[in-house]
Amino acid sequence: MVSRVIPVDPFDLVIFGGTGDLARRKILPGLYRRYQAGQMPEEARIIAAARSDHDDAEFRDIARAAIEEFIPEGKRDAASLDEFIERLSYVAIDATGDDGWAPLSEKMREGMIRAFYFSVAPSLFGPIAERLHQHGIAGPDSRIVVEKPFGRDLASARKLNQTLAQHFDETQIYRIDHYLGKETVQNLMAVRFGNVLFEPLWNAQYVDHIQITVAETVGVDGRGAYYDKSGAMRDMVQNHLMQLLCLIAMEPPSRFDPDAVRDEKLKVIRALEPVEPYQIVRGQYEAGGGQPSYRDHAENPRSLTESFVAMKINVSNWRWAGTPFYLRTGKRLKARTSEIAVVFKDAPHSIFGAEAGRHRNILTIRLQPNEGMMLGVTIKEPGPGGMRLVDVPLDMTFADALGPEAEDVPDAYERLIMDVIRGNQTLFMRGDEVEAAWAWTDPIIQAWEERDDAPKPYDPGTSGPEDAQMLMHREGRRWREIRD
């Protein structure tokens, strides 16, 4: 099966923070892969901007080293890498000063799409937006890409939206949530809205509950100081898990277009009930396996920041009344996995008797590792011996179904950057969505802060604090096992 790659129009992409960690790990390797795939046109140019003094040659060495580090040897070739590197240049700019903007302006070509990736600390988003405007570098057709975190509460997100809105129209602003760029996440929409099978069952009448798990094995390590001001709720739930919940819970949009999709997601966020304290478990990892505890990582012996959170959320609308969503995310857990499980209800009556046991259909949507979907169905166990039932997976792992090319699906960042160039905002968060998500999150965090709520300790390599299990057990449900 041959996938079609349609080249995008020629562009000038400026990466502010082009020498930083994100640029080196994701953005530059991603752009190289799109070049290799024939999606980035010959005329495209990438300009990195950061404070340090580098000339083009030095930056190209940085970019080459990054690509060699983050793309396996078998997946790159010298000729295309040389060609790609030639398309890179560098400008030294202090985002908060006046130097460097004139040289950047001179580099920009007429007649090209202009995109500006803000891969810098959020405090610099405003100053960059302002200067791009002041120096006449960005015009009404330019696009800006804004990284996370987008604010740390409703007030700061609103302020950031207002600052960006002074210089850019909403149609020019691309707020990244890289979870939305994942192949499976988009496939979730294809499966829901491209088939008649699922949608009739996709409601409280047939779905018992939904679980969303994003588990990491790493701790906060070198990011301790940053993370300690954030925590799992701000860092993961308000954005990534909330976006996944929206895609599962939303009504079918009338069209697959940016505002139709985002309107539906916004309605979901607005339908979330406030979460009561007993519906949330916060956790913090202890030392173990030769690794320090969260508090040591954060260099804050009295830290009350959570590295784990599990919660039950009710979506208050006709479709979902009575079907809870359980969300869970944490660091230093037993495996690295991101998964959504739609757990359907039991058949209304078992004709096979009690000895056949309890069987449920579960649709599992796996974001990592091994992106794919699996539908658990109940069949008869083969052989004599009566009607014994067994659950087997109908496996929709893309690589198996679509051939080896499906294994090589673009990374989320690659896809999203190409969407920016195409001017397609469907997979980016709109300003009102981000604010609505903070409006829901803020009271939860404020309640913790007011009560000096201490997270429950948990051992590394586990599924989190015991109380998180209880969150489900007391309602006769259980979490799916966290495994690779």
Q: Are strands 173-175 and 143-146 parallel, antiparallel or unpaired?
A: parallel
Would you count residue 137 as binding ligand NAP (CB under 6 A)? no
Distance of alpha carbon 238 from alpha carbon 427, whole angstroms:
16
106 touches 2 (CB < 8 A): no
Contact between 130 and ligand NAP by CB under 6 A: the answer reads: no
State in angstroms the smallest separation of the CB of 37 from ligand NAP. 23
Cα 53 to Cα 345: distance, rounded to the nearest angstrom: 61
In the block, which residue shows the tokens 């090209």? 112
Residue 41 interacts with ligand NAP (CB under 6 A)? Answer: no
Please confirm, yes or no, whether 167 is among the known catalytic residues: no
State which residue, 51 or 107, has the beta carbon closest to ligand NAP: 51
> Judging by beta carbons within 10 Å of its beta carbon (0-12, 13-18, 19+), is residue 460 exposed, middle or buried?
buried
Q: Is 374 in the site for ligand NAP (CB under 6 A)?
A: no
CA proximity to 439, closest of 152, 148, 153 = 153
Between 161 and 463, whose beta carbon lies closer to ligand NAP?
161
The residue sitting closest to ligand NAP, measured at its beta carbon, is: 20
Please enumerate in sequence order all residues whose Cβ is within 8 A of that of 262, keeping only pairs 6 or more positions apart, or say none.
425, 426, 429, 430, 433
238 binds ligand NAP (CB under 6 A): no
Does position 8 bind ligand NAP by CB under 6 A?
no
Per CB under 6 A, contacts with ligand NAP among 88-127 are: 93-96, 119-122, 124
331 among the known binding-site residues?
A: yes
**Residue 26 CB, nearest distance to ligand NAP (Å)?**
7
Residue 148 known to bind ligand: yes
Q: Is residue 228 a contact point for ligand NAP (CB under 6 A)? A: no
Residue 65 interacting with ligand NAP (CB under 6 A): no
- Secondary structure of 383-405 as H, E, C letters: CCCCCCEEEEEEEEEHHHHHCHH
264 contributes a contact to ligand NAP by CB under 6 A: no
For residue 476, how many C-alpha atoms fall within 13 Å in the half-sphere facing its CB?
2
Residue 218 interacting with ligand NAP (CB under 6 A):
no
The set of residues, in sequence order, having a beta carbon less than 8 Å from that of 416 and lying 6+ positions away, is 145, 174, 176, 178, 180, 181, 427, 428
Of 12-20, 31-39, 83-91, 360-368, which part binds ligand NAP (CB under 6 A)? 12-20
Nearer to ligand NAP, 22 or 281 (CB): 22
Closer by beta carbon to ligand NAP, 117 or else 202: 117
Site membership for ligand NAP, residue 50 (CB under 6 A): yes
User: Do the strands 362-368 and 372-380 form a parallel or antiparallel pair, or are they unpaired?
Assistant: antiparallel
Among 3, 52, 205, 316, binds ligand NAP (CB under 6 A): 52
Instruction: Specify the residue, 19 or 364, whose C-beta has the smaller distance to ligand NAP.
Output: 19
Name beta bridge partners: 174.
145
What letter represents residue 471's amino acid?
L
- Our CA dihedral for 188, 194, 200, 201, rounded to 10 degrees, sits at -30
Among the listed residues 19, 329, 338, 425, the single contact to ligand NAP using CB under 6 A: 19
Shortest Å distance, C-beta 23 to ligand NAP: 6
User: Does residue 409 belong to the site contacting ligand NAP (CB under 6 A)?
Assistant: no
- 255 CB contacts (<8 Å, ≥6 apart)? none
Angle between helix axes 78-86 and 56-70 (nearest 10 degrees) is 140
On whether the CB atoms of residues 434 and 173 are closer than 8 A, the answer is no
Whether residue 452 is annotated as binding a ligand: the answer is no
Residue closer to ligand NAP by CB (options 96, 105) is: 96
Would you mind telling me the total number of residues written for the chain in this entry? 484
Nearest to 178 by CA among 364, 404, 12, 419: 419
Task: Determine whether the annotation assigns residue 182 to a binding site.
Answer: yes
> Is 249 assigned to a binding site?
no
Is residue 171 part of an annotated ligand binding site? Answer: no
Least distance CB 61 / ligand NAP (angstroms): 15
The two three-digit tokens of residue 40, written as one number: 């980035």
> Is 327 assigned to a binding site?
no
**Residue 22 assigned ligand-binding role:** yes
Residue whose pair of structure tokens reads 């300003």 in the numeric block: 431
Bridge partners for 392 per DSSP:
377
Contact 453, 282 (CB under 8 A): yes
Say which of 240, 297, 349, 359 is annotated catalytic.
240
Q: What residues between 143 and 172 interact with ligand NAP by CB under 6 A?
A: 147-149
CA angle (287, 292, 295) in 5-degree steps: 85
Q: Is position 368 an interface residue for ligand NAP (rule: CB under 6 A)? A: no
Binding-site residues for substrate = 178, 182, 216, 235, 331
Active centre residues (catalytic): 240
Binding-site residues for NADP(+) = 17-24, 51, 148
> Where on the chain is the footprint of ligand NAP (CB under 6 A)?
16-23, 50-52, 93-96, 119-122, 124, 147-149
Binding-site residues = 17-24, 51, 148, 178, 182, 216, 235, 331
